[in-house]
Amino acid sequence: MNNRSSQSFAALLVLGAGIAAESGAAVAVLIFPELGPMGVVSLRIGFSAVLLLVIARPRLRGRSRADWMTVVGFGLVLAVMNVSFYLAIERIPLGVAATIEVLGPLVLSVVMGRRALSWVWAILAFAGVAILCGVDVGRLDPVGIALAVLAGVCWAGYILGSARTGRRFERLEGLALAMAVSAIVILPFGIVLAGPALLRLDLLGLGLLVAVLSSAIPYGVEFVALRRLPESTFGVLMSLAPATAVAAGFVLLHQALTPLDLVAIGLVTAASIGAVLTGPEKAPVAEPIP
């Protein structure tokens, strides 16, 4: 396979991973009535932690106090990010939540870019979100919007935490340990709020499906794709997350959006792509939602 074919294949993998991730979120919404958001996120994070620990087999001995502090901090950010996003998509459409959430890494990219053009993308993105939240005031749950904003802030923290953890741990080892920390934090709440339903085999199977779609597939694809694609190309493909979420919400959850909603989401997506293409070479790349 020549280089161009290899890159085309990697690009298709990234697009497929994005579809899988947002489909996983849609499946999660479908089982909210049975488990609630906390129950679903507990299964997703729990299964994701197990999968990553088995794959990465992180070394525990010989770690410094700073290493463990880094992992614990990263794990707490992961926990808050996932919980806030799942609570958000219980209240507002998946596509809207994903669009608001992507502001986190976009603002981080703008701040780190330190270029005048970067602020153009920021203004474009915030205009899109203003349109999205301002259309038919009262249509969107303000608590859901606030939770999506919190998820976006944590996504920016996830990117910074991922870079910091990556400097101290081998590939995936730090993430696996952070995911385990996240599971330890979240599981007690899931057990209390979801109760015995958390042990139903059918719901456990769906929870595993969510973990595979939203975590295992995106992480595996990221590992392969970043070896074949320039970071800018990878970042552009990741910037399509809001559009992918809209499609998943429409197909799997029947969440129809107005034409003005779609214009607003398009503005945020365009701003995210623009920030990636015109930012510094080492600008943070928006990674798949853990």
pLDDT band at 92 (very low <50, low <70, confident <90, very high): very high
Q: Which of 14-23, 70-79, 209-218, 234-243 has the lowest mean pLDDT?
A: 234-243
Buried b or exposed e, range 172-192, using 16+ CB within 10 angstroms: bbbbbbbbbbbbebbbeebee
Q: Using alpha carbons only, how large is the chain's radius of gyration in Å? A: 18
pLDDT at 177 exceeding the cut of 60: yes
User: Is 15:217 a contact under the CB 8 Å cutoff?
Assistant: no
pLDDT (average), residues 156-181? 85
CA dihedral of 106, 71, 23, 147, whole degrees rounded to 10: -60
d(CA 201, CA 289): 26
Rounded distance, CA 40 to CA 191, Å?
Answer: 10
Q: Judge whether 255 and 29 are in contact, CB under 8 Å.
A: no
Model confidence pLDDT, tens digit, residues 5-63: 666 777 787 788 888 888 999 999 999 999 999 999 999 999 999 988 998 888 888 88
Q: What is the pTM of this model?
A: 0.86
Report pLDDT digits (tens) over 230-273.
Answer: 666 666 777 788 888 888 888 888 888 888 888 888 888 888 88
Q: Is 169 left (phi over 0), alpha (psi -120 to 50) or beta?
A: beta
